[in-house]
Amino acid sequence: MIQFEKDGTIQTKVRHRTPMVSVPKIKRKPTSQKKGECGFSSPEPDNQDSSGSEAQLMKHNTRIRKKGADLGELQSAIESIKETQEDIKRDIMALRNRVTSNSPTVDNQFLQLKHYIFILLLVLLQLIINFLFK
């Protein structure tokens, strides 16, 4: 951004990093139908200058080719992303299955009767040892 003074007024000039591209707009001819005509189109002789229309046609064709190439690149990128997503989904499912198969069930997480009996026997053993060595 550049500011400068010209004729007693401060003016600002902005320079963009990316070039601004102006795209020519598509001009449509006004369609006027005569009373006797029906809605069908028929080929009409060209009344335009052939050199100007050929240049516009070439520009238009070039633009269409570029858009087609860009579209092809986008489609291949989308396909690549979809394949990567499917691979990640398969890996996540495999990890989830592995975790669920290795995790203990709810019954094994709590103390069972055999654990309580073992703890009771250890406490009794400690009491007997304390009583004997007093």
Domain ranges (residues) in the chain = 57-102
Instruction: Note the pLDDT tens digit of each residue in 89-132.
Output: 999 999 999 988 877 665 556 778 889 999 999 999 999 999 99
Task: For residue 85, give the 3-state DSSP assignment.
Answer: helix
Compare 61 and 83 and report the one with higher pLDDT.
Answer: 83
Give pLDDT, residue 117. 94
Give pLDDT, residue 33. 53
Separation CA 81–CA 75 (nearest Å): 10
- Contact by Cβ (8 Å): 15, 1: yes
Q: Within a 10 A sphere around the Cβ of 69, how many other Cβ atoms? A: 10
Residue 41's pLDDT band (boundaries 50, 70, 90)? low
Instruction: Note the pLDDT tens digit of each residue in 6-38.
Output: 888 888 887 767 666 666 777 766 665 555 545
